[in-house]
Structure formats: C-alpha cells, structure tokens
Amino acid sequence: MPVALFGIVFDYSYFCLELSPQSFAWVKVQDQIIQLMNAIFSKKNFETLSEAFSVACAAGSLSRNHYHLPVIIVPDGPAAVSHHQPVLRLQVTDVMSQPLTQASVKLDYAKSASSKATVLQQTPFSLSGDVFELNFMNVKPASGYYDFSISVDGDKRFIANKVELKVKVSTEVGITNVDLSTVDKDQSIAPKTTREPEKRPPTVVSNTFTALILSPLLLLLILWIKIGANISNFSFAPSTIVFHLGHAGKCQRLSALFDLLTWELQMRALVVNGLVVY
C-alpha cells in the first residue's frame, strides 16, 4: 500500500473514532497502531507533495487524539558518558517533535553489555528545560557499553513508551607517585654480562715459549763461537745490536722460506707417486 494511502487511512480512522468509538474500536489496538505508525514514518523522503501531506496529517492525528499518543525517545547528542560529560540527555517528544515535558522518564535498569550485571535500576531522569537528564557516572561504572531500558509514563494515552538504548561509558585512569629517571637505552634491551678473566697458562708453558723465542739468538751466538768469531771486538752500541738483530731476522726468514719450499717439493712428489698421507 502506498505511503500516501496509509496516511489518509490513518487520519480518517482517527477522525471517525472521535465520532463513533464503537464502530472503529479496532483503532484502539495498540500493536496495530504501532505497526501502522512504523510503516508510515519509516520513509524519510517523499516523491510527491501528496505523500508528504498525507504523512503530516497522520502525524497530526497521532499527536491530537483522545486514545493514543506515541512517544519518541532519542538521545540529545551522542549516547555516551564520561568524566567530562557524565550526564545522559534524552529528548522525549510526540511524533510532531513537540516535547512531552509533563511525562516522567525512568531508567528501569542499566546492565553491562559484557557481564550482564545490573549497575543501576529504577532511577528517574530529571527535567532540565525540554530535556531529561541522568548522571550515570555517579555509580562509578567501568568503561564499556551498557544496555539501558527506559520507560516513559504520565499519560494513559502513551504508546511505544519503552525503549532499549546502548550507552558507551569512557573512564579515565589516574597515575600518581611515579618516579621518572633517565637510563641508557641499551640497558633495557641487552642484559648486563660480566666477562670472566681468561685463564693464564702454566709457568712451564710460559718458560718453554720464552725459550723457543730466544733460541734463534742463542743458536747464532753458538755458531759464532764455533767458527771462531772474535766476539771481544763486538760493539754493544744500540745501532750495532739493531743491525745484527735485523740481519739475524732476515736469516731466520730465509731459513723458513727454504723449509717451506722443501716441504712443497716433498708434497708434490707424494701426490705424483699416489702416496698421500692423511
């Protein structure tokens, strides 16, 4: 059925109900009225002026009759409370958006949406101007969402006067007695480790290593004595000592190079003969 026809039927039915209550008793059934009301007002935009006029006539009939007065309950602003905004505000009007200030608004219960625990019940809203208010933060609720059940009374004609509303609660966390300090960023990431001192080798090993280091010099002196070198004329000036030590070092490096070449020739011979020793 078109919206325009819905509105005309609705308006005419209430007109006839005022003239003959017995003939149009079906109009008094609240469930049917609510269904028709939802069908009429569910459409927000109208294609023709006749549709808009019919809906306006139906709204006028619903707000000016002796039998039914539908109640519209909507939040005045966001459905949320916090420490900065602890009051939940509601607009309670008829279908023509006229405030119903003579009504009494009550919170039947407020339950946590997660735990289903009731935190407040049977609490009236207070009227402030044209808006009904309730300070929900007085009960110190935890943060989260709460299911509100709200009812409006004060006139026997009221229908659709109960509403379920989900309200968001935001709380603040206070931090006190906090000591601040500055630390190296690497200390919070890597654990502090202590390096153990390395074990020193035994005395025998140290003395043996020292003797091996000095053996080339001792060998040089023995060879000089063996060939009859005149050591008595040897000058112990720093320059002389450095010269001879450098010469001895060269001789030692040449000897090591000779040993390396000899070892390489032996390895080649073993490879050729197929006698690789592991």
Query: In sequence order, what DSSP letters do the residues of 187-212 get, joined into one string?
Result: TTTS----PPPPPPPPHHHHHHHHHH
pLDDT band at 278; cut points 50, 70, 90: very low
pLDDT band at 85; cut points 50, 70, 90: very high
Per-residue pLDDT, 38: 74
pLDDT band at 86; cut points 50, 70, 90: very high
Distance CA 86, CA 214 (A): 92
Q: How far is CA 143 from CA 70, 82, 112, 137, 140, in A?
A: 34, 9, 10, 10, 9
* Whole-number percent of the chain with pLDDT over 70: 53
Summarised one tens digit per residue, pLDDT across range 28-37 is: 556 767 776 7
Domain boundaries defined on the chain:
21-170, 234-271
Per-residue pLDDT at 123 exceeds 80: yes
Per-residue pLDDT, 92: 96
* Whole-number percent of the chain with pLDDT over 90: 33
pLDDT band at 67; cut points 50, 70, 90: confident
pLDDT band at 125; cut points 50, 70, 90: very high
pLDDT band at 50; cut points 50, 70, 90: confident
Query: SS3 of 50, please?
Result: helix
CATH architecture of 21-170: Sandwich (2.60)
Instruction: State the CB neighbour count (10 A cutoff) for residue 188.
Output: 7
Per-residue pLDDT at 237 exceeds 90: no
Per-residue pLDDT at 49 exceeds 90: no
Summarised one tens digit per residue, pLDDT across range 6-16 is: 667 667 677 77
The answer to whether 146 and 113 are in contact (CB under 8 A) is yes
Per-residue pLDDT, 72: 92
Which own/partner contact pairs does 12-17 have at CB distance under 8 Å and 24+ positions apart?
Answer: 14/61, 14/62, 14/65, 14/67, 15/61, 17/65, 17/67
Q: What letter does residue 25 receive in the DSSP assignment?
A: G
State the average pLDDT over residues 84-107. 94
pLDDT band at 146; cut points 50, 70, 90: very high
pLDDT band at 95; cut points 50, 70, 90: confident
Summarised one tens digit per residue, pLDDT across range 207-233 is: 776 666 667 767 767 776 776 656 666
pTM here is 0.56
DSSP per position, 208-254: HHHHHHHHHHHHHHHHHHHTT--GGG----HHHHHHHHHHHHHHHHH
- Kindly report the average pLDDT of the chain as a whole number: 76
